[in-house]
Amino acid sequence: MVWVRLVELFLRRLFLVGKNIWIINQYASTPETGMGGRHYYLAKELAKQGHKVYLIAAGYTHLLRSPLKFSEAFKVESVDSFQFVWINMPKYNGAHDKKRILNWFLFAWKVLRLPKIISENSDIILASSPSLLTFLGAKNLANKFKAKLAFEVRDIWPLTLIEIGGYSTKHPFIRFLQWIEDKAYKDADVVISNLPNADEHMAERGMNKNKFHWIANGLDIEEVSNSQPLPESILDSFPKDKLIIGYLGTLGEVNALEYFIESAKIKKDDDSIAWVLVGDGKEKKNLKNKVKNLELSNVFFVDPVSKNQVQSILKLFDICYIGWRDKPGYRFGIAAQKIPEYMYSGRPIIHSFSGYSDVVQKSNSGITVPAEDPLEVVRALEVLKDMGKEKREELGENGHEYAVNNYDYKSLANRLLKVLT
């Protein structure tokens, strides 16, 4: 009966339990298809609290390691007590393929058909960037359901395309994206970001600062505490009886790993230290060529490992390394997933970073040096080496404690729920 449905809707909107939450992120994934990541774990935790959660993503993106194969327009599967909705999308060749842009438009349009797949009306819709066009589809759905609308920014577009990509602010497509970004800040009920200082930029674009909430990336503590053992092939590829400074993650341009290798060059005559890079990416070939050209014998490349083996391989490091470009965009902060992972491992961190909100300094879990400065990396390395294992373990324990207290997805989901309700 109609009155029963009205009472049900009233009670669901009045209380925090039983909400119907749609999270729309074109690049979301499960651990089996990609890396899982932020929205997979948040959806999982929200579902544990009794909410009906739908995580909506593209069935194909360049970030998926093992895309699902299906012919229908949508595929819905139950995953960890929530519903994962895959939208069938055309394939394209890599991040810079122009067909990727066409997929942004197509995904935003296909999102409008979700009510034909999901029978329940949505109470809350969260649309996550960097694909700004997703917001237009989410806005339309929120109007239809009279749902609360949240806009999440994980990469500030089109600013990133302008400052790093070199695009002109007068480019027609950049102007179009700018219009969407400004509209999102105006029309969304709440604005969320994993970049702690993003509100400065958003306020400049007209957002009311009271809308803003920072929610960091995190860890599934149960998952990382049950890391799986490494295969013998990986163990055999690690240098023996050396102090290991290691990087784990994507070997990409943004990670500025040529400076990591330059630091190895400075210490090439010290055979007590080894530089290890674990992972894969577009820059791997270039980095290997750099090592070969510099005739370095202290740099080692190790094949990537599965997500459930990350903590096992980090235990083989004595010091963890992460670096960044010296770019103005980092004035809004960073949200690298590897920082919580590094911290949880209990290993001290060398952070090559020139930006805002440095959590390594805040947690006293390592040493921060300026970005793109290999000499300073070496100086930090020497400090950590000279302080001895016991003192390094104290720094590592600071990071571990900080990760447990601040990056648990269970707590982050509670924060998100308060924001959304």
For 371-409, write each residue's pLDDT tens digit. Answer: 999 999 999 999 999 999 999 999 999 999 999 999 999
List, in order, residues 6 or more apart from 282 with CB less than 8 Å away. 251, 252, 253
Domain range enclosing 169: 2-215
List, in order, residues 6 or more apart from 67 with CB less than 8 Å away. 33, 59, 60, 61
Both 155 and 183 in one domain: the answer is yes
For 102-125, write each residue's pLDDT tens digit. Answer: 999 999 999 999 999 998 999 999
Both 253 and 375 in one domain: the answer is yes
Residue range 141-163: average pLDDT? 95
The answer to whether position 421 is within a domain reads no
Share of the chain above pLDDT 90, in %: 86
Radius of gyration in angstroms for the set of CA atoms belonging to the chain, rounded to a whole number: 22
The answer to whether position 420 is within a domain reads no
Q: Is 12 in a helix, a strand, or coil?
A: helix
Q: What pLDDT score was predicted for residue 421?
A: 86
Token pair recorded at residue 206: 């007209």
The answer to whether position 416 is within a domain reads no
Residue range 338-350: average pLDDT? 97
Domain of residue 84, CATH code:
3.40.50.2000
Both 186 and 66 in one domain: the answer is yes
For residue 11, pLDDT beyond 60? no
Both 257 and 198 in one domain: the answer is no
Q: What mean pLDDT is reported for the chain?
A: 94
The answer to whether position 80 is within a domain reads yes
Rounded to an integer, what distance in angstroms lies between the CA atom of residue 43 and that of residue 294?
A: 47
Q: Are 346 and 320 in contact (CB under 8 A)?
A: no
Structural domains counted in the chain: 2
Both 184 and 230 in one domain: the answer is no
Q: What pLDDT score was predicted for residue 193?
A: 98
Distances (CA, A) of 24 to 8, 115, 255, 347, 379: 24, 13, 27, 35, 44
**More confident position, 260 or 328:** 260
For 34-73, write each residue's pLDDT tens digit. Answer: 888 899 999 999 999 999 999 999 999 998 989 999 999 9
DSSP codes joined into one string, 367-418: EEE-TT-HHHHHHHHHHHHHHHHHHHHHHHHHHHHHHHHH-BHHHHHHHHHH
Q: Based on the number of CB atoms within 10 Å of its own CB, is 14 exposed (0-12), middle (13-18) or buried (19 or more)?
A: exposed
For residue 10, pLDDT beyond 60? no
H or E element at residue 286: helix 284-293
The last residue of a domain, from among 188, 215, 242:
215
Rounded to an integer, what distance in angstroms lies between the CA atom of residue 339 and that of residue 103?
A: 31
Both 73 and 15 in one domain: the answer is yes
| Angle, CA of 304, 342 and 394, to the nearest 5° | 140
The last residue of a domain, from among 190, 215, 240:
215
Rounded to an integer, what distance in angstroms lies between the CA atom of residue 55 and that of residue 21?
A: 8
For residue 15, pLDDT beyond 50? no
The last residue of a domain, from among 215, 244, 272:
215
For residue 12, pLDDT beyond 90? no
For 22-35, write each residue's pLDDT tens digit. Answer: 999 999 999 999 88
Rounded-to-10 torsion of CA 299, 304, 306, 309: -10
Which segments within 80-227 are labelled E, that is strand? 82-87, 124-128, 148-153, 190-193, 212-214
Q: What pLDDT score was predicted for residue 36?
A: 84
Both 202 and 232 in one domain: the answer is no
The answer to whether position 413 is within a domain reads no
The band of 3, judged by pLDDT with boundaries at 50, 70 and 90, is low
Token pair recorded at residue 227: 């890391």
> Which residue, among 128, 20, 114, has the nearest Cα to 73 in the 3D structure?
114
For residue 287, pLDDT beyond 70? yes
Both 254 and 174 in one domain: the answer is no
Both 210 and 227 in one domain: the answer is no
Token pair recorded at residue 185: 């800040």
The answer to whether position 412 is within a domain reads no
Q: Is 29 in a helix, a strand, or coil?
A: coil
The answer to whether position 34 is within a domain reads yes
Q: What pLDDT score was predicted for residue 1?
A: 47
Both 237 and 193 in one domain: the answer is no
Write down the pTM of the prediction: 0.90
Both 386 and 283 in one domain: the answer is yes
Residue range 329-358: average pLDDT? 95
Residue range 292-309: average pLDDT? 94
The band of 94, judged by pLDDT with boundaries at 50, 70 and 90, is confident
The answer to whether position 418 is within a domain reads no
Q: Based on the number of CB atoms within 10 Å of its own CB, is 149 exposed (0-12), middle (13-18) or buried (19 or more)?
A: buried
